[in-house]
A and B are shown apart, each in its own frame.
Chain A
Amino acid sequence: MIRDITLGQYYPGESPIHRLDARTKIIATILYIIELFVVNNFWGFLIAAAALFAVIAVSRVPVKFIFRGLTAVFIIIAFTFIINLFMVDGRVLWHWRFLTITYEGVSRAFFMAVRLVLLIIGSSMMTLTTKPIELTDGLEKLFKPFSLIGLPSHEIALMMTIALRFIPTLMEETDKIIKAQEARGADFESGNLFQRAKSLIPILIPLFISSFRIAQDLALAMEARCYHGGSGRTRMNEIHFAKGDAVAAVLMVLFLAVIIASRYIPVLYK
């Protein structure tokens, strides 16, 4: 179901991961994503997956909840897998008409799929354990140095947070509209590709209109509370680095070293 997408959702909790400074989590996530592309063999992926599961375990976010979010992006993962499977040249493993699967293709497809899964879970761990408001504050502080070269750090951070915040709202809205059109006998499941695409119109138009309405309401609500951009704004709860963040930083450096070292672990097959 469309509302099952957990990307961008917050899962309330009191775990050490939840308590980390948002900046630590943002940096850790970016670092993790980069490391996923540094990894080049089986051992590296095993270590990366183990580290991620350790984080999930500490955060106490139910694994079921995280994986439910993956089902929605399953198509993208499957598509990447198939493209890689058939498109890589190398030693032929299987051949039929114009379709060829190579050893290199299999391993590339497998690695790409694992990489995507870890990437999606990794980045959803950040949003699952960080309140949107903390995320904005964190992003804004991280962007601050760039405001010297004219980057509107506050506005960018706000835009990103609003986008994240409204994913679930729009999902809910979509669900409602789908149901309402189904009640009028709309059928989204049968017909050829063209008919199916056409059957989306009764969903997309009301959804567009709803988004504009929501955006307008939000803008009005912000103005009513005298929002006037970032300059001179102060916070009720300032964020601070704490002991946990130092521990996290040490672990991050260690993990980076292990990941780089993993490139040199001999693999069992070639």
Chain B
Amino acid sequence: MSIEVKDLRYVYSPGLPGETVALDGVSFEVHDGETIGIIGHTGSGKSTLLQHLNGLLKPASGDVYVDGQCITDGSVKLVEIRRKVGLVFQYPEYQLFEETVAKDVAFGPRNTGLSEEKIETRVKASLALVGLNYDEIGDSSPFELSGGQKRRVAIAGVIAMEPSVLILDEPTAGLDPSAHREILSMIELIREKMGIIIIFVSHNMADVAALSDRIIVMDGGKIAMEGTPQEVFSHEKELSAMGLGVPPVREIMTKITAALPEIESNALTADEAATDIKKVINIPKRDN
């Protein structure tokens, strides 16, 4: 499985007042099993880009290839693409509509024409994957759940289609810290269990640094930077010029290494920072 985006361009309301060039010459590739983090200022075109990857938007020019197949020339059935590429929108809990959680999660698989037994297995498996118990909440109304639970039900609804690519647009936006952590560990679990391509947008630099194999930085409808978290977050100045930042741990470590030159570190996560600090500080053994 792979995704290839070639010279994508998209314009909202072409030829009208309010014409906006949302994407302008965007090209990148995603390889099998990779997790990609997308960062960028609000309005930089992240959501527009994601909607091209499953054929919801048609580019003005340029092409998208999923698994070597061009999905922009009209030769592939859209339902087929949407089964392959699962897209979770921002605030996905607002699309819940069924009477019960189980029925809502079953909506996607049912649209692909699966048998009832298969649907049931999928619903159970995907609810388990997002950390919810089918027997406990399968029959309750999705509207009775907490914010974090609702969001996980909505994500389960996309996972239940067993996509080969999972795309999440700001999956942690507006959640409290514990729900935030749950979503993050859910993404990690999906990556581990399903081994699929994951592409996610986030404004939390720490999450992006911790989860991504590669980061794509969007700015004004173009790709401004692309690389591993280490590469991208070493450009602090450029990032802050784009209204972005670096993970808090990196900020702290920059200050610490400036004050204490004997510590060398380009840590992005707390664990990396701890290891780097331990290397130079020898705490004398206390005997008690």
| A65-B16, A183-B82, A185-B111 known; A202+B97 contact, CB < 8 A | yes
Complex contact A62–B16 (CB within 8 A): yes
Instruction: Mark out the residues of chain A between 138 and 191 whose CB falls within 8 Å of any chain B CB in the assembled complex.
Output: 176-177, 179-187
Point out the residues of chain A lying under 8 angstroms from B79, CB to CB.
185, 187
Residue of B nearest to A180 (CB): B95
Complex contact B97–A68 (CB within 8 A): no
Point out the residues of chain B lying under 8 angstroms from A187, CB to CB.
79, 111
Number of interface residues of B (CB under 8 A): 27
Complex contact B94–A206 (CB within 8 A): yes
Task: Flag whether A11 is at the interface (Cβ < 8 A).
Answer: yes
Complex contact A68–B161 (CB within 8 A): no
Complex contact A177–B95 (CB within 8 A): yes
Task: Flag whether B64 is at the interface (Cβ < 8 A).
Answer: no
A237 to B149 alpha-carbon distance, docked (Å):
47
| A64-B16, A206-B96 known; A180+B89 contact, CB < 8 A | yes
A244 to B94 alpha-carbon distance, docked (Å):
47
Task: Flag whether B107 is at the interface (Cβ < 8 A).
Answer: yes
Point out the residues of chain A lying under 8 angstroms from B89, CB to CB.
176, 179-180, 183
Residue of A nearest to B90 (CB): A176
Point out the residues of chain B lying under 8 angstroms from A177, CB to CB.
94-95
Return the contact of A206 from the options B97, B108, B161 (Cβ within 8 A): B97
Complex contact A184–B16 (CB within 8 A): no
Point out the residues of chain A lying under 8 angstroms from B92, CB to CB.
180
Return the contact of B17 from the options A62, A180, A184, A201 (Cβ within 8 A): A62
Q: Shortest CB–CB separation between residue B87 and chain A, in angstroms?
A: 4
Q: Shortest CB–CB separation between residue A7 and chain B, in angstroms?
A: 16
Q: Shortest CB–CB separation between residue A207 and chain B, in angstroms?
A: 9
Residue of A nearest to B79 (CB): A185
Q: Shortest CB–CB separation between residue A46 and chain B, in angstroms?
A: 28
Point out the residues of chain B lying under 8 angstroms from A253, CB to CB.
none
Q: Shortest CB–CB separation between residue B13 and chain A, in angstroms?
A: 9
Complex contact A11–B97 (CB within 8 A): no
Task: Flag whether A209 is at the interface (Cβ < 8 A).
Answer: yes
A180 to B107 alpha-carbon distance, docked (Å):
12
Complex contact A184–B97 (CB within 8 A): no
Contact with A along B92-126 (1 / 0, CB 8 A): 10111100000000011001100000000000000
| A177-B95, A206-B95 known; A184+B158 contact, CB < 8 A | yes
Task: Flag whether A205 is at the interface (Cβ < 8 A).
Answer: yes
Residue of B nearest to A182 (CB): B56
Q: Shortest CB–CB separation between residue B53 and chain A, in angstroms?
A: 10
Instruction: Mark out the residues of chain A between 44 and 99 whose CB falls within 8 Å of any chain B CB in the assembled complex.
Output: 62, 64-65, 68
Q: Shortest CB–CB separation between residue A211 and chain B, in angstroms?
A: 11
Return the contact of B157 from the options A62, A184, A210 (Cβ within 8 A): A184
Return the contact of B94 from the options A65, A184, A210 (Cβ within 8 A): A210
A185 to B160 alpha-carbon distance, docked (Å):
12
Task: Flag whether B54 is at the interface (Cβ < 8 A).
Answer: yes
Point out the residues of chain A lying under 8 angstroms from B157, CB to CB.
184
Point out the residues of chain A lying under 8 angstroms from B107, CB to CB.
181, 184, 186, 202
Task: Flag whether B284 is at the interface (Cβ < 8 A).
Answer: no
A146 to B111 alpha-carbon distance, docked (Å):
55
Point out the residues of chain B lying under 8 angstroms from A206, CB to CB.
94-97
Task: Flag whether B86 is at the interface (Cβ < 8 A).
Answer: yes
Sampled A-B contacts (19; CB under 8 Å) = A64-B15, A64-B16, A65-B17, A179-B51, A180-B89, A183-B88, A183-B158, A184-B82, A184-B158, A184-B161, A185-B83, A185-B108, A185-B111, A186-B111, A201-B97, A202-B107, A205-B97, A206-B94, A209-B94
Supply 20 further A-B pairs (C-beta < 8 A) apart from A180-B89, A184-B95, A185-B82: A62-B17, A64-B15, A65-B16, A176-B94, A177-B94, A181-B107, A182-B56, A182-B78, A182-B82, A184-B111, A184-B161, A185-B108, A185-B161, A187-B79, A202-B95, A202-B97, A202-B107, A206-B94, A209-B94, A210-B94
What 10 A-B pairs come out closest when comparing CB atoms? A185-B111, A205-B97, A184-B108, A180-B95, A183-B87, A180-B89, A202-B97, A185-B82, A179-B56, A206-B97
